[in-house]
Amino acid sequence: MIAALAGAAIVPATGLAKKHHKKKSMSHSAVVDKVLRAYHIAVRADRNARAIVQSWKIQDGTIKTQDLADGSVTGAKLADGAVSGSKLAAGSVTAAHLAAGAVTAASILDGSVGSGALADGAVTGAKILDATITSGDLAAGAVTSAKILDGTISASDLGTGAVTGVKIADGAVDNTQLHDDAVTAAKILDGTIGLLDMGANAVDSNVLADGAVTAAKIVNGTIDGTKLATGAVAAANLAANSVDNGNIVANAVHSANIQDGAITSAKILDGTIALLDMGANAVDSTVLKDGAVTSAKILDGTIALGDMGPNSVDSNVIVDDSIKSQDIRDGAVNTVDIAGGAVGTSELAASAVKGAQIAAQAVDTPQLADNAVSTIKIADLAVTNAKLAANSVTGSNVQDASLGASDIAASNSGTPITGSVSIDPPNVTAQSCSVVTTSVAGTAAGDKVILNLVDGTMNPALTYAAMTPGAAGSFRVRFCNVSGTDVDDGALNFAYIVIR
């Protein structure tokens, strides 16, 4: 249709018009001249008819939103938690471990969502960034004046992260999750090991600080002569009540001078019994004050599993990064235990992320791999005019014979500039041309015009040609008189299409 209009726009009126009145006959040379003109006009018309419609000929705003179907990316959000990515084994997080909606946009690695990860029809018009679909993205013949091919979006990428030991909730690690020797003295809260936590003979001289055993810790009557230094005072050497404080020379009373059992707790100066003063196994639970045994007093590696009570090990006593995979009970890590951003790409098993795990609006432009959105991934009617980049639609993208006059006409506030106009040519003198200017709303100075004579009443001596408007809102037609006499024709009706 456009080829016919373009050709007809410049075909001379000689063969189409009927004579208004009889003029004098033409000379042979005039006839030859008119034939040559007709031949050249036909050549130009044929060339114009064969020309490819370029993208600038497509009217802005002709692909309408209401022509496109809606679509959506579904998925629920993943809850926050305390387990970071470094604590998860590579590939250990499968689809079954991910809560619905747990994968957000921040969790998807930029450029990692490939075409294979997108569900058919998942990419809707609302998900396509305006002006990002270029000519290379469109299949030949896929763009008609009404619609674009269908498809949807899906993805399988998450952001990176790590699970740290301090992020594990209270009570999540029990005895079976602890590696042998995993709990060191530094991990035991001061004052939290009770008497029942220690085994028999757990406290020896090596774990007691100087002065740690006070008089209150020594059972009455437990220190005998063997506990006294050589030469200590024995009872047999002294008469009853014969020795008082004033009778004893300073440093004169030795072990041999003291009766076994004579020295009670009250007789011992607080803080004076040293480590060497006590025999093996002299200190048991009955002589230790509550809270007297600190971590420094406990021999490294001597506290066994049986020495610790239920819930005696919490996060404060666990060395950072000390809990290994084998320490954690299978299935013990729940959603609330996993820190935000903890599950990275290496922690996810192959094909672990399904559509239900992806949060709504989570897949953004950075998450999509280059060329991930193929034709089948785009929902029907999802590509609107706003989605097309400038100069993106070329002739190869336009379906043959699909464009009409309104598709190529320039726009006047959204309305194609096409229609009809009545023009009354002036008196055109012999072998001259005259330009008639009228008005058509919406034209621009440099617009191109396709013009066709609607009726066949134009004087055969006249030819016409559309000109560029020359100014906004103008419309110009040039009439030429190819005869040897003046011609003053009546008003003529023309059909026009303005392209820009």
CA distances from 349 to 80, 237, 400 (A): 20, 85, 48
For the chain, the domains span 2-53+404-499
Instruction: Note the pLDDT of residue 52.
Output: 65
Count of Cβ atoms closer than 10 Å to residue 422 Cβ: 10
Please provide residue 338's backbone torsions phi and psi, each rounded to the nearest 5 degrees: -95, 125
Nearest-5° angle of CA 110, CA 115, CA 116?
110
Tens digit of each residue's pLDDT (9 = 90 or more) over 162-197: 646 676 677 776 777 777 888 788 888 888 888 788
- Could you tell me if 12 and 463 are in contact, meaning their C-beta atoms sit under 8 angstroms apart? yes
Is the separation of the CB atoms in 290 and 217 below 8 Å?
Answer: no
Rounded CA separation 397/148 (Å): 11
The Cα–Cα gap between 380 and 148 comes to 6
Q: What is the DSSP string of 123-142?
A: B-GGGSPTT-B-GGGSPTT-
DSSP β-bridge partners for residue 93:
348
pLDDT of residue 174: 73
- DSSP letter at 3? H
Give the up-direction half-sphere exposure of residue 285: CA atoms within 13 A in the CB hemisphere: 10
Strands (E), 342-444: 411-412, 415-416, 418-423, 427-428, 432-439
Residue 239 CA, chain-centre distance (Å), reads 96
Contacts of 27 (CB under 8 A, 6+ apart): 484
* Residue positions counted in the chain: 500
7-57 pLDDT, tens per residue? 444 444 444 444 444 445 567 778 888 888 888 898 888 887 776 666 677
According to the model, what pLDDT value does residue 14 have?
42
Q: What is the pTM of this model?
A: 0.33
Q: How many CA atoms lie within 13 A of 375 on its CB side?
A: 12
Q: Answer for the pair 172, 337: CB distance below 8 angstroms, yes or no.
A: yes
Determine the pLDDT at residue 152.
Answer: 56
* Residues of the chain falling short of pLDDT 50: 1-23, 153-155, 158, 163
Predicted pLDDT at 458: 93
pLDDT at position 94:
86
**Residue 447, C-beta contacts closer than 8 angstroms, at least 6 positions apart:** 410, 417, 468, 469, 498, 499, 500
Please give the structure tokens belonging to residue 161.
């992260």
Neighbour-count burial of 181, counting CB atoms closer than 10 A to its CB (0-12 exposed, 13-18 middle, 19+ buried)? exposed
pLDDT value at residue 4: 42
What local confidence, expressed as pLDDT, does residue 19 receive? 42
